[in-house]
């Protein structure tokens, strides 16, 4: 591509693209192409002028990249579904035409016609106010309507026009600020499904989701997210559709039912015939989720919003009192031009959205402000062990066989069963088989997953079970091969054990090495420093393994060999005792406790149902994101409280100055709207730097 250098400095270059006209899509392609380069630190492309400003670490590399650029499909694929450019253009145009209309109105419209136009426009404000009053509510629109009506009654239609212009400008800028905040957050979020099970030629094949075509049949099981829209052609499943419809209870899906991308199978399995692989409205669904999350206001937000509504009658009362004392309508109108509601109701949610956006950049996904407040106020944190305090990728250390079973075949069979269910232990078994080059055929029948226990299936009519000691020996009644009791008693204690039984008899024990996360101890110590008073670990593993982990990471107490319902009951007891509880886990078995906690936090590499049930999801790469989350939550509460005091103080000051005759109504309106936008924009800045 040809371009001309307009300006260049040490780490910045501005170029003009030599083409007749640049569309918004072309500008996005160029911008995201440059952003993908490691030597580019920031870039902005201006489609109106065809210019691009690039910040870099290597000037020659930038020039070379520009010369090699083209609007190819490969580069176009770098552009996300929405970029925010169209949104900005929409509001820029609205602002431009609003300013032009205002200039024309002031300079070219004669006074009589101006009065008629002002009365017509005022009718809308008055109608809204009367509608609120008819429902017994005194809201901000009552203040606006009163100010406009007083101006018109006094024959000051220019003042009324100025007031309506300032109100319209404020609403436009507030709407722009809010939608841009939501847009920024939505662009950073996605479903995160990369591979799916494809039913092909009577077997199942794990393939990248990009290879799926319309008409393909995919299989989704317990704990997994449905990645694409389609019709259920076989199977039965209970599907959590909360992110899509807000329904609290799972929806039963059977043959003929329609399944939606982004929902999660809580129980069962089904085969879905895909009918939509692109354009499934993922961005719109994410925006809907964000808008729904805004309803999950923190108590601080709710108190501020309620106070804003309660202060409206006092503003009207202050206006009336000022007029009665001064007999000056201008002074009284100056109070009408100011309210607390706009700033409080705009700045608070934007503060929360900004925290959610910053969290997303740190690998933290939050579903609402109330959960950030819960994290800030928490005094008790409960950790699951496997995949949470230990690495999300445990490894198979040994395979100990019993009877005449072969080690290779035992691992092959275990991997064949485990690969259908997303959990850190299952992933370890599948990886161990893959590392040894073990390829298997799907010889087993339907697989049954028993939450927190194990897997049951059959091969050529012989029952196969894989799971915990409790599941294999107590629930399923499996036995040891004769004469191998001593071998069983001498199983290495430093590992977690996964038991495989075939035909009711133990065939192998898979020893899982579950090393601690390097950062776990330090993260727990930092959480203590940030005010968390009680750290608890709960695990289904043995007391011996649990004690070793607890001592290594420094939890205050631990509970071993617990079931999912035990974790949930513990959370309920802690909450009943008046504690603010956070639960952190990654598996299907953690889901009940995650849903019971004040804030449930799932590890991103865990089961999809855990991520769905959880209120917050954190990166699996490093537990330090928990410290970041705590700090971010505490800073959010500080900002909300600071905004609250600033808004109340500044607007009260404007009222006093208006009542004293120092500020005329139009100036009060200008300062009020300007402060609202300023506080909202300030609320968008990063919290942690």
Identify the CATH number of the domain in which residue 576 sits. 3.40.50.1000
End of a domain among 19, 46, 79? 79
Q: What is the CATH number of the domain that holds 39?
A: 3.30.70.100
**What's the sign of the alpha-carbon dihedral 132, 133, 138, 143?**
positive
> Is 501 part of any domain?
yes
CB atoms within 10 A of CB 165: 19
Model pTM score: 0.62
Q: 413 and 502: one domain?
A: yes
Q: 386 and 402: one domain?
A: no
Residue whose token pair is 């275990």: 414
Q: What is the CATH number of the domain that holds 486?
A: 3.40.1110.10
Token couple for 86: 């169209």
Q: 212 and 172: one domain?
A: no
Q: Domain residues for 218?
A: 195-283
Gyration radius (Cα) of the chain, Å: 31
Q: 180 and 246: one domain?
A: no
> Is 412 part of any domain?
yes
Q: 520 and 505: one domain?
A: no
> Is 423 part of any domain?
yes
Q: What angle do CA 218, 220, 225 make, to 5 degrees?
A: 115
What pLDDT does residue 249 have?
A: 64
What is the greatest pairwise CA distance in the chain? Answer: 108
DSSP 515: P
* CA pair distance 3, 63, nearest whole angstrom: 9
End of a domain among 478, 513, 548? 513
End of a domain among 79, 114, 147? 79
CB atoms within 10 A of CB 305: 16
What pLDDT does residue 506 have?
A: 94
> Is 626 part of any domain?
no
Which residues of the chain are modeled with pLDDT < 70?
77, 80-82, 138-140, 143, 170, 173-174, 177-178, 181-194, 210, 242-249, 277-309, 341-342, 345, 392-393, 420-424, 440-453, 607-609, 620-621, 689
Report the relative pairing of strands 534-538 and 380-384 from DSSP bridges: parallel
User: pLDDT tens digits, residue range 606-634?
Assistant: 766 677 778 888 876 678 999 999 999 99
User: pLDDT tens digits, residue range 168-220?
Assistant: 776 776 677 667 766 665 555 544 556 788 888 777 887 877 678 888 999 88
> Is 163 part of any domain?
yes
Q: 458 and 477: one domain?
A: yes
Q: 139 and 170: one domain?
A: yes
Q: What is the CATH number of the domain that holds 221?
A: 2.70.150.10
Residues 673/176, Cβ–Cβ less than 8 Å:
no
> Is 433 part of any domain?
yes
Number of domains present in the structure of the chain: 5
Residue whose token pair is 């500008």: 27
Q: 399 and 502: one domain?
A: yes
Residue whose token pair is 């066989």: 401
Q: 494 and 408: one domain?
A: yes
Q: 508 and 405: one domain?
A: yes
DSSP E strand boundaries for 353-394: 364-366, 380-384
What pLDDT does residue 303 have?
A: 64
Q: 385 and 534: one domain?
A: yes
Q: 385 and 400: one domain?
A: no
């Amino acid at each position: 591509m040809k371009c001309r250098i307009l300006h260049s400095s040490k780490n910045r270059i501005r170029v003009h693209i030599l083409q007749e006209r640049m569309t918004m899509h072309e500008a996005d392609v160029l911008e995201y192409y440059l952003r993908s380069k490691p030597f580019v630190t920031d870039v902005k492309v201006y489609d109106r002028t065809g210019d691009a400003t690039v910040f870099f670490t290597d000037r020659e590399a930038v020039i070379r990249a520009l010369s090699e650029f083209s609007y190819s499909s490969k580069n176009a694929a770098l552009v996300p579904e929405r970029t925010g450019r169209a949104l900005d253009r929409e509001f820029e145009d609205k602002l431009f035409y609003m300013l032009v209309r205002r200039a024309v109105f002031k300079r070219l419209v004669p006074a009589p016609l101006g009065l008629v136009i002002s009365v017509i426009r005022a009718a809308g404000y008055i109608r809204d106010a009367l509608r609120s009053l008819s429902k017994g509510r005194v809201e901000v629109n009552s203040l606006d309507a009163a100010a406009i009506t007083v101006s018109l009654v006094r024959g000051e239609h220019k003042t009324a026009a100025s007031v309506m212009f300032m109100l319209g400008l404020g609403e436009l800028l507030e709407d722009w600020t809010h939608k841009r905040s939501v847009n920024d957050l939505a662009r950073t979020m996605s479903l995160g499904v990369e591979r799916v099970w494809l039913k092909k030629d009577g077997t199942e094949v794990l393939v990248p989701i990009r290879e799926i075509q319309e008409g393909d049949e995919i299989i989704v099981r317990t704990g997994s997210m449905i990645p694409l829209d389609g019709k259920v052609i076989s199977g039965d499943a209970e599907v959590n559709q909360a992110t899509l419809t807000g329904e609290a209870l799972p929806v039963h899906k059977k043959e003929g039912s329609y399944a939606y991308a982004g929902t999660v199978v809580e129980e069962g399995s089904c085969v879905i015939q895909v009918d939509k692989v692109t354009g499934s409205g993922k961005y719109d669904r994410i925006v809907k989720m964000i808008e729904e999350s805004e309803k999950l206001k923190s108590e601080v937000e709710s108190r501020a919003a309620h106070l804003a509504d309660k202060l409206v009658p006092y503003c009207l009362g202050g206006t009336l009192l000022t007029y009665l004392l001064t007999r000056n309508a201008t002074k009284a109108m100056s109070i009408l031009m100011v309210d607390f509601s706009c700033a409080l109701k705009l700045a608070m949610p934007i503060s929360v959205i900004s925290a959610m956006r910053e969290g997303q950049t740190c690998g933290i996904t939050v579903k609402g402000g109330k959960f950030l407040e819960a994290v800030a106020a928490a005094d008790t944190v409960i950790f699951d062990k496997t995949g949470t305090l230990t690495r999300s990728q445990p490894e198979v250390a040994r395979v100990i066989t019993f009877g005449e079973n072969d080690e290779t075949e035992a691992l092959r069979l275990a991997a064949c069963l485990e690969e259908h269910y997303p959990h850190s232990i299952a992933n370890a078994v599948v990886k161990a088989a893959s590392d040894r080059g073990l390829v298997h055929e799907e010889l087993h029948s339907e697989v049954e997953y028993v939450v927190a226990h194990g897997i049951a299936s059959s091969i050529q009519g012989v029952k196969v079970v894989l799971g915990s000691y409790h599941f294999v020996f107590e629930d399923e009644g499996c036995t040891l091969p004769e004469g191998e009791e001593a071998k069983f008693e001498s199983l290495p204690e430093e590992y977690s054990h996964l038991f495989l039984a075939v035909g009711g008899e133990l065939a192998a024990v898979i020893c899982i090495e579950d090393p601690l996360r390097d950062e776990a101890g330090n993260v727990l110590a930092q959480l203590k420093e940030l005010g968390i008073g009680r750290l608890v670990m709960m695990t289904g593993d043995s007391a011996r393994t649990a004690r070793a982990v607890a001592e290594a990471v420094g939890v205050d107490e631990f509970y071993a060999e617990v079931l999912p319902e035990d974790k949930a009951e513990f959370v309920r007891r802690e909450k009943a005792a008046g504690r603010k509880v956070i639960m952190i886990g990654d598996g299907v078995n953690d889901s009940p406790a995650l849903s019971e906690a004040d804030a449930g936090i799932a590890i991103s590499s865990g089961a999809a149902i855990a991520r769905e049930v959880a209120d917050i999801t954190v990166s699996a790469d490093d537990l330090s994101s928990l410290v970041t989350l705590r700090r971010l939550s505490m800073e959010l509460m500080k900002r909300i409280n600071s905004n609250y005091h600033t808004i109340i103080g500044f607007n009260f000051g404007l009222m006093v100055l208006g009542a004293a005759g120092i500020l005329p109504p139009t100036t009060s309106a200008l300062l009020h709207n300007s402060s609202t936008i300023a506080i909202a924009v300030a609320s968008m800045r990063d919290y942690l730097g």
